[in-house]
Amino acid sequence: MKLKGGVFPLLLKFLFYSIRDYFSKNYGYHSSALTFFLLLSIFPLFIFLLSVFSLLAFFNISYVYYILYNLFPSFAKDILDNVLKFYNTEVSINLSFLSIFISLYFSKDLFIAIQMAFSYVWEIEYKGNRQNLIIAIISLPVLALIFTGIYIFMLLLKFIQEIKHFLESLDIFFLNWLLEIINFLNKNIKLLSYSSNVLKVFIIWFFVFLLFYYFTPKKVFKRDVLLTSLIFTFFLLVLEFLFKILLLNFLSKNPLFLTLGSIFVFIMWAKFSFDIILIGERFLYYLSNKAEGRNLPQ
């Protein structure tokens, strides 16, 4: 059934209804719970990445310190000291792999909470889907590692000149192939930076699409999920842009704020992101009901 009254006015109306319901039906409680479970899932992965980073620090401490100093000039030495202490402990490797299993365990709670939150948004009883849950649990660490890889690659592009000069200064024959790769990256840095940003946006959209498509508690048209995921991926990207401005223009001016405030900003970003996801799910609720000709609640 076609939407009557014009597509754009109806979409604005559904967006207004969804934001209104967020406050009136207290979706913020569920977004806070999702933020808590996300933190429990993400921080064990951070321990794993820290262990990988410690290996890099072991191979070339001076260069790692140079990168850290450019990123965090006020407390680069403290970070590197902690990384090296972590590397020197005997349990570092075991703890690294254990952190993956801890992340998988808490991922279960995260995606159960997502299913319960979406059922609440749709005003139906929570039933859950074990198959989707298992796939989602496995996908979270993979998704986190993919994003980490993208950001590391973008960081590498930022310091491409320094890396090139460093490899040239070594003058070691078996690193010539690596230097050729660095030269290629340096020649195509603009295209690669643009491609990395496009890839990041596509992955975010794809994840949002899968979240709406597989975790919505009722069967919905794929075109409605596609439209909803496009609209609310745009809102997520705007949110990310605003938080980057906050970090660069406010928190980075003060080392204390950068140390403590960055953690608080990450929690705020996660909370607002889940707010957008839940509003998007409610938007999909209105869009699906209207498209199927069902009466919307007043």
Q: How far is CA 129 from CA 132, 180, 207, in A?
A: 6, 49, 18
More confidently predicted of 62 and 138? 138
Q: What is the rounded distance in angstroms from the CA atom of residue 140 to the CA atom of residue 30?
A: 19
Asked whether the beta carbons of 133 and 108 are under 8 A apart, the reply is yes
**186, two tokens:** 């340096």
Q: What is the rounded distance in angstroms from the CA atom of residue 91 to the CA atom of residue 97?
A: 10
Predicted structure pTM score? 0.75
**133, two tokens:** 């849950």
Q: So what's the pLDDT on residue 142? A: 72
Give residue-wise pLDDT tens across range 113-152: 999 999 999 999 888 777 777 777 777 667 777 777 777 7
Dihedral over alpha carbons 73, 258, 274, 101 (to 10 degrees): 60
The DSSP secondary-structure symbol of 8 reads: H
Q: So what's the pLDDT on residue 106? A: 78
Q: How far is CA 25 from CA 28, 79, 104, 190, 278, in A?
A: 9, 43, 31, 46, 11
Q: At what angle do helices 92-121 and 76-88 cross, to 10 degrees?
A: 110
Asked whether the beta carbons of 34 and 110 are under 8 A apart, the reply is yes
Asked whether the beta carbons of 121 and 27 are under 8 A apart, the reply is yes
Asked whether the beta carbons of 173 and 77 are under 8 A apart, the reply is no
Q: What is the rounded distance in angstroms from the CA atom of residue 69 to the CA atom of residue 95?
A: 27
Asked whether the beta carbons of 49 and 151 are under 8 A apart, the reply is no
Contacts of residue 125, defined as CB under 8 A and 6 or more positions apart, other chains included, come to: 119
Q: What is the rounded distance in angstroms from the CA atom of residue 261 to the CA atom of residue 257?
A: 5
Q: What is the mean pLDDT of residues 26-47?
A: 86
Dihedral (CA of 166, 170, 174, 180) sign:
positive
Give residue-wise pLDDT tens across range 71-94: 455 555 565 566 555 555 544 555
Per-residue pLDDT band for 174 (boundaries 50, 70, 90) equals low
